[in-house]
Structure 1
Amino acid sequence: MSPALAWELVRPVARLFGLVLVLVALVGVYGALQVGRLRDADRRASDAQGRAERAERARIDAEAARDLARAEARIEVRYVDRVQVVREKAQIITREVPVYVTPNADAACVVPVGFVRLHDAAAANEPAGPATGNPDAPAEGVALSDVAAVVADNYATAHENAEQVTGLQDYVRALVEHCAR
């Protein structure tokens, strides 16, 4: 067979083969473009999902902050109301000292200097130290009614502190509940 005849037989196959190669190359380029588009679409979808999740978290955080602010306001109102009740009762008790500790009781009961020293040390949360002088001697200018008024005031302060602690405990509970969300 002559080379020209062989070429005439191979030429259509070669053209077909060339056409197939071009088609394969086009399909490859198209596939690569599609993969790039799919990756880009996936990235955009992932970004959108991330933004949606952040927006949802921000919404939840805003609701929790709003709820915490409401709880804080309720706690503060309850605390202020309870402390006000304690103060009002303390004023009544202090006004009643002369009714229950009369001038006759003041005259009949000498408040010893040892008691005054120990009371003052306890109020300062300090040890009284060694006794000096006679602890049974009368304290100058301290009447039993003065002692009663100071004790009533100290108890009022203790009750105010108790209400403050209760208010702080309520606040911490609300804060823990907020953080648990």
Structure 2
Amino acid sequence: MTFIQKSLLGLALLFGFFALGMATGWHYGAGRVQSQWDLAIADAEKTVNKAQLNNAVATVQVVTKYVDKVRIVREQGQTIIKEVPIYVTQENDAAAVINNGFVSVWNAANSGNPPDAPRAADAQTSGVKLSEVAEQHSIEAGYCREVEQQLTALQGWLADGY
């Protein structure tokens, strides 16, 4: 074997050992990176699961408080509605005139749309009794108070970071 052949064989062996070392190192490094990645994913999943559990617990607490408060609001509203005939008597109904203009404004306020242009018929009696207005207002105020409780509960839930 000549010197050049021995040198080429030595270089080939050296290159082979280097390539083998690189492949082994790459394989070891890839495995290490994969295990670090798997640990990071597992930690993230634990964090998400814990947050979801905390969220579920907080949600149940908020809903329980909300449901209790809404029940109280409804009971209070029903009590007020039952009291309407005591505070707005038949004599009050007979004495009060609810005209069509009032009914138009009332309906516009409830729909959020401006009332139609005034007309002569607005001055006429509508047939709506004052006690009916009081009862309807009590019903609508109860709905508003229910929504108030719902929004307050939602704001508390959000403020707690859920």
Give the TM-score range, shorter chain. 0.7 to 0.9
Aligned equivalents of 2:42 and 2:131: distance in 1? 66
Is 1:98 the equivalent of 2:79?
no
Once the two structures are TM-superposed, the CA of residue 167 in structure 1 deviates from its matched residue by 2.9
Aligned equivalents of 2:22 and 2:110: distance in 1? 81
Tell me the TM-score normalised to structure 1 length.
0.74
Aligned equivalents of 1:67 and 1:162: distance in 2? 25
Aligned-pair identity in percent equals: 29
Aligned equivalents of 1:103 and 1:23: distance in 2? 118
Q: How many residues align?
A: 159
Q: What runs of 5+ residues in structure 2 fail to find an aligned partner?
A: none
Is 1:87 the equivalent of 2:54?
no
Once the two structures are TM-superposed, the CA of residue 134 in structure 1 deviates from its matched residue by 4.8
Tell me the TM-score normalised to structure 2 length.
0.82
* 1:12-50, Cα deviation, whole Å (9 max, x unpaired): xx9xxx7xx988876765454334322211111111111
Pick the aligned partner of 2:43 from 56, 73, 76: 56
Aligned equivalents of 2:159 and 2:22: distance in 1? 53
Is 1:160 the equivalent of 2:160?
no
Aligned equivalents of 1:143 and 1:24: distance in 2? 109
Partner of 2:130: 144
Evaluate the alpha carbon distance shift between residue 129 and residue 25 of structure 1 in structure 2; reply closer, same or farther with a 3 A threshold: closer
Once the two structures are TM-superposed, the CA of residue 125 in structure 1 deviates from its matched residue by 1.7
Q: What runs of 5+ residues in structure 1 fail to find an aligned partner?
A: 1-13
* Superposition map of 1:1-181 within 5 A: 29-30=16-17, 32-140=19-127, 142-174=128-160, 177-178=161-162
SS across alignment from 2:154: helix
- Alignment root-mean-square deviation, CA: 2.7
Once the two structures are TM-superposed, the CA of residue 92 in structure 1 deviates from its matched residue by 0.6
SS across alignment from 2:119: coil
Aligned equivalents of 2:105 and 2:18: distance in 1? 94
